Structure 1
Amino acid sequence: MRVRTSRLMPGAGALVAVVALAACSSGAVSSGSGSGGSGTPVTLNLATVNNGQMKDMEKLKGEYEKSHPGVTVNFQVMEEGDLRAAVTADVASHAGQYDIVTIGAYETPQWGANGWLVDLTPDLKADASYDVNDILPPVRDVNTYDGKLYAVPFYGESSFLMYRKDVLSKAGITFSGTPTWQEVAAAAKKVDSPGMSGICMRGKPGWGDLFGPLTTVIETFGGSWYDKDWNATVNTPEWKQAVTFYKQLLDDSGEADPVSYSFNECLTAVKEGKAAMWADATVAASMLEAADSPVKGKMGYVPMPVVKTKQSGWLWSWNLAIPSSTKKKAAAIDFVKWATSKDYIKLVGQKIGWSNVPPGSRTSTYEIPEYKQAAAAYAPLTLDVMSSVNPKQPGLNPQPWVGIQYVSIPEFQDVGNQCAQLIADYIAGRSSVDDALSKCQAIAQKAGDAHKK
Structure 2
Amino acid sequence: MKLTRALPLATLAAAVAAACQAQAQTEITVATVNNNDMVIMQSLTEEFETQHPDIELDWVVLEENVLRQRLTTDVATGGGQFDVMTIGTYEVPIWAERGWLTPLDDLPADYAVDDLLQSVRDGLSHDDTLHALPFYGESSMMYYRQDLFDEAGIEMPEQPSWEEVRDWAGQLHDPDNEVAGICLRGKPGWGENMAFVSTLVNTFGGRWFDEAWNPELESPAWQEAIGFYVELLGDYGPPGASSNGFNENLALFSRGNCAMWVDATSAAGKLYDPDESDVADRLGFAPAPVAETPKGSHWLWSWALAIPASSEKQEAAETFITWATSREYVELVGETEGWTSVPPGTRESTYANENYQQAAPFADFVLEAIRDADPTDSTLEPTPYVGVQFVGIPEFQSIGTQVGQTIASALTGDVSVEQALQTAQRATERTMQRAGYLD
TM-score by length of 2: 0.91
Of 224, 229, 233, 2:216 maps to: 233
Q: Following TM superposition, by how much is the alpha carbon of 1:231 offset from its aligned partner in structure 2, in angstroms?
A: 0.7
Secondary structure in 2 matching 1:386: helix
Q: Within the alignment, does 1:186 sit opposite 2:170 as a pair?
A: no
The 8 Å contact of residues 39 and 70 in structure 1, kept in 2 or not, is answered as no
> Matched residues in 2 for 1:448 and 1:403: separation?
17
1:46-61 aligned at under 5 Å gives the runs 46-61=30-45
> Matched residues in 2 for 1:341 and 1:39: separation?
28
Letter paired with 1:332:
A
Residue of structure 1 equivalent to 2:427: 443
1:58-103 Cα deviation digits (max 9, x unpaired): 1112112111122111111111222112211221111211111111
The 8 Å contact of residues 83 and 308 in structure 2, kept in 1 or not, is answered as yes
Choose between structure 1 and 2: higher helix proportion.
Answer: 2
> Matched residues in 2 for 1:265 and 1:37: separation?
43
The 8 Å contact of residues 269 and 360 in structure 2, kept in 1 or not, is answered as yes
Letter paired with 2:238:
E
Residue of structure 1 equivalent to 2:309: 324
Report the RMSD for the aligned CA atoms in angstroms: 1.6
Of 291, 314, 339, 1:307 maps to: 291
Q: Within the alignment, does 1:129 sit opposite 2:129 as a pair?
A: no
Secondary structure in 2 matching 1:305: coil
Q: Within the alignment, does 1:348 sit opposite 2:330 as a pair?
A: no
Number of aligned residue pairs: give it: 414
Secondary structure in 2 matching 1:331: helix
Q: In 2 relative to 1, CA 326–92 (structure 1 residues): closer, same or farther, beyond 3 Å?
A: same
Secondary structure in 1 matching 2:407: helix
The 8 Å contact of residues 274 and 281 in structure 2, kept in 1 or not, is answered as no
Residue of structure 1 equivalent to 2:16: none
Of 286, 290, 295, 2:279 maps to: 295
The 8 Å contact of residues 21 and 54 in structure 2, kept in 1 or not, is answered as no
Secondary structure in 2 matching 1:251: helix
Q: Following TM superposition, by how much is the alpha carbon of 1:451 offset from its aligned partner in structure 2, in angstroms?
A: 5.0
Q: Following TM superposition, by how much is the alpha carbon of 1:448 offset from its aligned partner in structure 2, in angstroms?
A: 2.9
> Matched residues in 2 for 1:218 and 1:95: separation?
37
1:72-83 aligned at under 5 Å gives the runs 72-83=56-67
> Matched residues in 2 for 1:77 and 1:420: separation?
23
The 8 Å contact of residues 65 and 189 in structure 2, kept in 1 or not, is answered as no
Secondary structure in 2 matching 1:153: strand
Structure 1: 5+ residue stretches without partners: 1-35
1:37-116 aligned at under 5 Å gives the runs 40-116=24-100
- Greater Rg, structure 1 or structure 2? 2
> Matched residues in 2 for 1:431 and 1:199: separation?
22
Letter paired with 1:322:
I
> Matched residues in 2 for 1:80 and 1:284: separation?
15
The 8 Å contact of residues 412 and 447 in structure 1, kept in 2 or not, is answered as no
The 8 Å contact of residues 198 and 253 in structure 1, kept in 2 or not, is answered as yes
Q: Within the alignment, does 1:391 sit opposite 2:372 as a pair?
A: no
Residue of structure 2 equivalent to 1:31: none
Q: In 2 relative to 1, CA 70–37 (structure 1 residues): closer, same or farther, beyond 3 Å?
A: closer
Structure 2: 5+ residue stretches without partners: 1-19
Percentage of identical aligned residues: 44
Q: Following TM superposition, by how much is the alpha carbon of 1:39 offset from its aligned partner in structure 2, in angstroms?
A: 8.0
Q: In 2 relative to 1, CA 204–38 (structure 1 residues): closer, same or farther, beyond 3 Å?
A: closer
Of 229, 232, 241, 1:258 maps to: 241
Of 229, 242, 259, 1:246 maps to: 229
The 8 Å contact of residues 226 and 448 in structure 1, kept in 2 or not, is answered as no
> Matched residues in 2 for 1:315 and 1:92: separation?
25
Letter paired with 1:64:
F
Residue of structure 1 equivalent to 2:203: 220
1:298-343 Cα deviation digits (max 9, x unpaired): 1111100001222511011110000111111111111111110001
